[in-house]
Amino acid sequence: MGSPASPSVVTAGERGPARACDRLIIALDTSSWEQALQWVDCLPQVLWWKVGLELFTAVGSPILRALKERGKRIFLDLKLHDIPNTVGRATQVAVGYGVDLLTIHASGGSAMLRAAAEAAQSSPCRLLAVTLLTSLSPEQVQQELCIGKDPANYALHLAQLAQAQGFTGLVCSPQEVARLRQIFGSDVLLVTPGIRLSPSFTGDDPTEDDQQRIWTPARALQAGADYLVVGRPVTAAPDPVIAFQQLCDAVAH
């Protein structure tokens, strides 16, 4: 599977871009084209933007073209999960948009992961295997999903499954980062959502936050994360520019 060609993208054996703030991926979590581009244009210093299922479903691939025209790096977070043939074909289409990172659900199994890896092997896009959603608590993992392993061991199992099929990137919660880094070393790219500072910083009502397994930026980076995915702490802040600068300061120290 190819690695991203740009020096701003972490490749195997590297641990981060030159600028600390380039380790932050800001999530465009909205269904509005206007709102998404308003965030992008008011934060020109942001290199990486995440386009997730909500925005991509609402506006489609034109948002990817708009980001590329602005010279941005794109994390297309679709978490593909279907039968192998479907995921393989969808991966081929997705990497054709010129995105830098694309997510695939590791829980889809080895055949599905292999189909995605084969579809992307001639592309510079790097595939990321999603281990376990950060919205799931340990109780939900055991009681609702009927998974006997605890979240950390289940995430490791899925990470190993994905690596065996050629994946060199993973999405995991901050709480699994240190263990995955220790086991896989520097050859794996670890992208970590679930980043929070404080309710007063995000402007969120903490009772409405659907993230369960969360950490601060500094703690996630110290544990071994390469990139941090941040949404509401920036986009829901009273002043996103100030919020992003505070995050930059947090990851720089």
pLDDT tens-digit map of 50-59: 999 999 999 9
CB 62 within 8 A of CB 87: no
CB 230 within 8 A of CB 50: no
> Comparing C-alpha atoms, which of 196, 203, 187 is closest to residue 218?
196
Indicate the pLDDT class of residue 201, thresholds 50, 70 and 90: very low
pTM comes to: 0.86
What confidence score (pLDDT) does residue 140 get? 79
pLDDT tens-digit map of 105-161: 999 999 999 999 999 999 999 999 998 776 777 787 767 877 877 878 888 999 999
Least confident of 55-64, 74-83, 164-173, 216-225: 216-225
Statement: residue 34 has pLDDT above 90: yes
What confidence score (pLDDT) does residue 214 get? 57
Angle between helices 33-42 and 62-69 (to 10 degrees): 20
79 is catalytic: yes
pLDDT (mean) for 82-104: 98
Statement: residue 251 has pLDDT above 60: yes
pLDDT tens-digit map of 205-228: 433 444 444 578 888 888 999 999
pLDDT, averaged across the chain: 86
Q: How many CA atoms lie within 13 A of 199 on its CB side?
A: 6
Spell out the domains of the chain, with CATH numbers in brackets.
Answer: 20-252 (3.20.20.70)
How many whole angstroms separate alpha carbon 184 and alpha carbon 242?
36
Statement: residue 96 has pLDDT above 50: yes
User: Which of residues 36 and 172 earns the better pLDDT score?
Assistant: 36
Q: Among residues 50, 68, 72, 79, which one is catalytic?
A: 79
